[in-house]
Amino acid sequence: MQVKVINKSNNELPAYQTQSAAGLDLRANLDEPINLKPMQRMLVSTGLFMELPEGYEAQIRPRSGLAFKHGITVLNSPGTIDADYRGEIKILLVNLSDESFLIESGERVAQMVISKHEQIDWELVETLEDSKRSAGGFGSTG
């Protein structure tokens, strides 16, 4: 699938790091480093703008290495970028560790997965078909 992109950053375009990777690594595009303090959240610029085809979304997810090693994650994970959004892709990062973390320009800070989706039409009804799980909530399946 071809996706139109404008790259106003000093970084290369996001790329898959392995042949079977689902996510493209997104890099910070900064004028100066950001010192992300414990429990602080911040929008991190990427310098990227894109035009997704209708019926697709971009999901912004944490990078597992940053999350495990440094406690850095995407706060609204996964964040959704809709096909009709044309603004800059920004990453909402949060530092869940007890140490500050320095983000340099060009650092891989998140990953983006492109996913097909459907839209629904509601059908208002009075009852729903029963199922094996029924109304069982958290922990109800064992």
Q: Is 65 annotated as a binding residue?
A: yes
| Spatial distance between the Cα atoms of 44 and 12, rounded to a whole number of angstroms | 17
For tokens 């199922």, name the residue.
131
**Side chain identity, residue 37:** K
Q: Is 18 annotated as a binding residue?
A: no
Buried b / exposed e across 30-43, counting CB within 10 Å, b at 16+? beeebebeeeeebe
Q: Is 60 annotated as a binding residue?
A: no
Q: 48 near 9, Cβ under 8 Å?
A: yes
Structure tokens at 3: 């996706």
Q: Is 98 annotated as a binding residue?
A: no
**Side chain identity, residue 87:** G
For tokens 């990453």, name the residue.
91
DSSP for residue 53: P
Q: Is 63 annotated as a binding residue?
A: yes
Which residues belong to the annotated binding site? 63-65, 76, 80-82
Which residues belong to the annotated binding site for substrate? 63-65, 76, 80-82
